[in-house]
Structure 1
Amino acid sequence: MEAKELTKLAVKALEDKKGEDIRVIDIHGVSVLADYFVIADGSNASQVKAMADNVEEELGKAGHECRQIEGYQTAGWILMDYGDLIVHIFSRDDRLFYDLERIWRDGKVVENVEEL
């Protein structure tokens, strides 16, 4: 499965758990880290963890294991590394504090994930 399809699947998994303000940033032209960042937030630690669990479950069903997960215990910022896709799931406060969209503003915001 290519990065675009993986990204669509991750967005759907986040939407299924009521993830808020889901953004996709195409960074393949500005970084070797990955092709896409998916950024979302949840209203509390339980929701943030549920979102991460659902991403891991849905991508796992599609045959993609997460290489590394950071921040799950505190659920302020969970980072999930799938190689060409990195999923960032934040609490609202941590998302505002870290402001990845500003840091990665050289990337291209994907307005409609279905157009990937």
Structure 2
Amino acid sequence: MEQSREIIKIAYHVLEDKKGEDIKVLDIHEVSVIADYFIIASGKNVNQVQAMAEAVEEELIKNNFKLVHKEGYHSSGWILLDFGSVVIHVFDKEVRDFYCLERLWRDAPAISVDTL
């Protein structure tokens, strides 16, 4: 659990630094076996989405966290970074509005990074 919290803190701050919008952390550990947490963020355009995802990936790997899987770099409207217990979703606004993960995972409470 401590590892998950450290991943969340690092990823959240990188997303903020890259001007990510509407950054949310969902605690999904009680409603899913996929992961313990989702981080969801939006960028204004394809270039920003890619820059946000690349910066998060780079910083987490630099801090010795293992990237399990990634996808979406080619389509760029939604990039997923799977760090095991934490899955990071970086969207452009239109794709995020379309998929609305927050609604799909509405049983998972949103948490504040400050409480970690």
TM-score grouping bracket, smaller chain normalisation: over 0.9
Distance in 2, Cα, partners of 1:85 & 1:27? 10
Q: Secondary structure at the match of 1:13?
A: helix
In the alignment, the residues of structure 1 paired with residue 47 and residue 71 of structure 2 have an alpha-carbon distance, to the nearest angstrom, of: 16
Q: CA deviation at 1:45?
A: 0.4
1:68-113 Cα distance to aligned partner (Å, 9 max, x none): 1111111100011000000000010000000000000010111x20
Equivalent pair of 1:56/1:65 in contact (CA under 8 Å): no
Task: Please report how far the alpha carbon of residue 13 of structure 1 lies from its aligned counterpart in structure 2 after TM superposition.
Answer: 1.1
How many residue pairs match? The answer is: 115
1:19-30 mapped onto 2 (5 Å cutoff): 19-30=20-31
Query: What amino acid sits opposite 1:92 in the alignment?
Result: K
State the SS of the aligned residue for 1:30: coil
Deviations 1:12-41 (A, max 9, x none): 111111000000000011111111000000
What is the DSSP-based 3-state SS (H/G/I as helix, E as strand, rest coil) of the residue aligned with 1:114? Answer: helix
CA root-mean-square deviation = 0.9
2:113 is matched with 113
Unaligned runs of 5+ in 2: none
> Matches of residues 55-70 of structure 1 in structure 2 within 5 Å?
55-70=56-71
1:2 deviates by 1.1
Give the 4+ runs in structure 1 shifted more than 3 A.
none
Gaps of 5+ in 1: none
TM-score, with length taken from structure 1:
0.96
Residue 65 of structure 1 and its aligned partner are, at CA, apart by 2.6
Identity %: 52
Partner of 2:50: 49
